[in-house]
Structure 1
Amino acid sequence: MAQQPATASPTPDENGSGTRRHPALRTRATELFGVEYPIVQTGMGYVSDARLTAATAEAGGLGVLSAGLLSYEELSRAIDDVRSRTDRPFGVNLRADQPDVVKRVDLLIREKVKVASFALAPREELIKRCKDGGLVVMPSTGARRHVEKVAAWGADAVVVQGGEGGGHTGQVPTSLLLPQARDAAGDIVVLGAGGFFDGRGLVSALAYGADGIAMGTRFLLTTDSPVAQVVKEEYLRRGVDDTVLTLQIDGVPQRVVRGRTIDRLERGTAPGRLLRAAGNAVAFQRMSRTPWKEIVREGLAMKRNHGLSWSQVVMAANAPMLYRTALLDGRPDIGVMATGQVVGLIDDLPSCRELIARIVDEAVDVLERLERGGR
């Protein structure tokens, strides 16, 4: 979509939704991604499907399709599904350690996907392959040194997630990590993640020097999300103190909802946890029909690239089944619910269009108030 020139005062959205515009919300992120608003929906396994990705794109943000748990054939079909729902730019989130990641990158290039997003930093040669093919490269990071590394390797943008964020995350809060990352990122686009859910957060991220925000939990809790309704209602009942950072899912710190499964994993013995993890890994293999040869290759890559022990590799194979059981099967009592601490500030389930319009309107209100001297 062609971008309108910035104006001195907010104007109605051209699509007739009534959403206002403001020059401060036209950032380097909107220019780089070719979207209306500097808002990114992150790639979440079992959550960021074709419907959610397309709904975000249609609402003016950057939707990101999660491909980490999809086979190559499923990814190809999912891209076609997104295309059937929207003609706007979108991204695909890849796992840099997958054995066929080069083949997947080539698929994105052929399909003219706008953005290649990575949960883990891709190798320098993989970034070059993406860029040579016309993809915008956007890794996610949780530390200043990682930002410096991917910026030096040629990434176009970086998602910087603070410790408040859900899933794999670190210890440094967004309010400290984001300005660090901005100072280290040079000229590349920076998206803040972890703790964002409204227009006030968007303006605060811009004040820290970010070019926009990326959100997972907030998009998970929309009507366009595939998560089971009973699970969404469980999320809405949670407060900011109802999350825990645990090592017991895959051996790497993850923020999830505190519940029966996590309590059992935390209390269990190491042999017991490994036995349950192996059982879940077998169940996932049967369900996904992923050849054991590929699973073993992925495990070896994880061990080599991330310094995991064999017990951590087994636990990592356990994670997909735990998440699927909760999010899609509607059994949070025996599964795991990833979430950011921001879950305690969310109390409704809007559509993606309603959510993005609300965030933009709130951001404009804040910006106008600041322009009036805070009155």
Structure 2
Amino acid sequence: MTEAADADPGAFHPALHTTACDLFGVRYPVVQTGMGYVSGPELTAATANAGGLGILGGGSMTYEELAAAVRRVKELTAAPFGVNMRANQPDIDRRIELVVSAGVRVASFALAPSRDLIRRLKDAGVVVVPSIGAKRHAEKVAEWGVDAVIVQGSEGGGHTGQVPTSLLLPQVVDAVDIPVVAAGGYHDGRGLVSALAHGAVGIAMGTRFLLTSDSTVADNVKQVYLTKTVTDSVLTTEVDGIPQRLLKAGAVERLLDTSAVRRYARAARNAVAFQRLSGTPWPDMIREGVAMRRSNDLRWRQVVMAANAPMLYRAALVHGRSDIGIMATGQVVGLIDDLPSCAELIERIMRQADSVLRRLTGT
């Protein structure tokens, strides 16, 4: 553990102790997002021990995997952490019970949870923080009672919107009266200061935490990321029907050149493979597909294509097959050239942010 993990938060500029620190129960306003197949117990706990908010990527786990992962995080850290879930999962009620009984501090969602889910979590003392990519979505969940939102601009990796962070962030800050965490394009202390200047209470990062020594993503896959520039990603709907930003590598370039018929055939094969691997009953998968279609206004073609994502992500991020899998990335990948520990990364961010603020304020 490095100096950042043990540092007195009061040693930094007072502007760096924000509402996020108090809301999440952490020392520093830095969030590691709940990335599927990436944010396992080790990365989550390392972030928490370094003073940030680590979020376990529970959306890609079975219930049994999630329960084991939560137990493991609690073995590795006594600090608060979060769990990311998908509100349309058939067993979401059981997952909420797990989060509550385990004393998890934060529940994050990639898709907006229902009013009922928000109420149940808040009544149990869990902080509810969905991720959003549009002003209207932020306004909706704020009205429903969430505690904060993570606002991701189009620079961000994975599923994302069309508006860049520099425009979306101030728009959302002006529209809602709850804390806003900025995501999309952040990797250092300068970015943290810029987010605070826009009215955010902290920053959330995915790609930057994926590229740490605490991340369990295979080293050969990390090396692929480190070779990329800010233009080596693509925003596409061809994987699962919903826009997401992916690294130009592996299956992505071949997928974009494949005919629609062949993409559907691949999606069907992957659906069968995912069902066998996860053990999810077919009726539950179908119900989840129907819920996905309704909540996101998708065509059936897009729901079928969604079967691609879990298997393709798993191939690269779990099995190290960057040649045949897909890898979500933010455009910020082109600014990253090393693999620090989470403690080293957060220390660097905080010290740089402190230096920038003191230079700007003359203190």
TM-score > 0.5 by shorter chain: yes
Distance 1:87 1:317 in 2: 36
| Kept after mapping to 2: 8 A contact 1:19/1:360 | no
Amino acid at match of 1:123: S
Does 1:58 pair with 2:54?
no
| Kept after mapping to 1: 8 A contact 2:150/2:182 | yes
Unmatched segments (≥5 aa) in structure 2: none
Helix, strand or coil: the match of 2:307?
Answer: helix
Specify whether residues 22 and 293 from structure 1 end up closer, same or farther in structure 2 by C-alpha distance, changes over 3 A only. same
Amino acid at match of 1:270: A
Find the counterpart in structure 1 of residue 264 from structure 2: 274
Amino acid at match of 1:30: C
Unmatched segments (≥5 aa) in structure 1: 1-11
Distance 2:251 2:106 in 1: 35
Distance 1:213 1:14 in 2: 18
Find the counterpart in structure 2 of residue 104 from structure 1: 95
Does 1:87 pair with 2:82?
no
Find the counterpart in structure 1 of residue 186 from structure 2: 196
Specify whether residues 207 and 72 from structure 1 end up closer, same or farther in structure 2 by C-alpha distance, changes over 3 A only. same
> Structure 1 residue 289: deviation in Å?
2.1
Helix, strand or coil: the match of 2:349?
Answer: helix
Find the counterpart in structure 2 of residue 225 from structure 1: 215
Identity over aligned pairs, percent: 62
> Structure 1 residue 293: deviation in Å?
2.3
| Kept after mapping to 2: 8 A contact 1:228/1:329 | yes
Match of 2:108 among 114, 117, 133: 117
Helix, strand or coil: the match of 2:131?
Answer: strand
Superposed, 1:1-375 pairs within 5 Å as: 15=6, 20-186=11-177, 188-372=178-362
Amino acid at match of 1:63: G
Specify whether residues 13 and 232 from structure 1 end up closer, same or farther in structure 2 by C-alpha distance, changes over 3 A only. closer
> Structure 1 residue 16: deviation in Å?
5.2
| Kept after mapping to 2: 8 A contact 1:20/1:360 | no
| Kept after mapping to 1: 8 A contact 2:4/2:50 | no
Helix, strand or coil: the match of 1:280?
Answer: helix
Distance 1:131 1:365 in 2: 37
Distance 2:200 2:104 in 1: 24
Distance 1:76 1:110 in 2: 11
Aligned residues: 361
Specify whether residues 198 and 19 from structure 1 end up closer, same or farther in structure 2 by C-alpha distance, changes over 3 A only. farther
Distance 2:318 2:218 in 1: 5
| Kept after mapping to 2: 8 A contact 1:200/1:363 | yes
Q: TM-score, normalised by structure 2?
A: 0.97
RMSD: 1.6
Distance 1:338 1:19 in 2: 36
Of 30-39 and 258-267, more deviation after overlay is shown by: 258-267
Specify whether residues 14 and 46 from structure 1 end up closer, same or farther in structure 2 by C-alpha distance, changes over 3 A only. closer
> Structure 1 residue 220: deviation in Å?
0.4
| Kept after mapping to 2: 8 A contact 1:19/1:361 | no
Distance 1:20 1:318 in 2: 47
> Structure 1 residue 242: deviation in Å?
0.3
Amino acid at match of 1:26: H
| Kept after mapping to 1: 8 A contact 2:213/2:342 | yes
Amino acid at match of 1:163: S
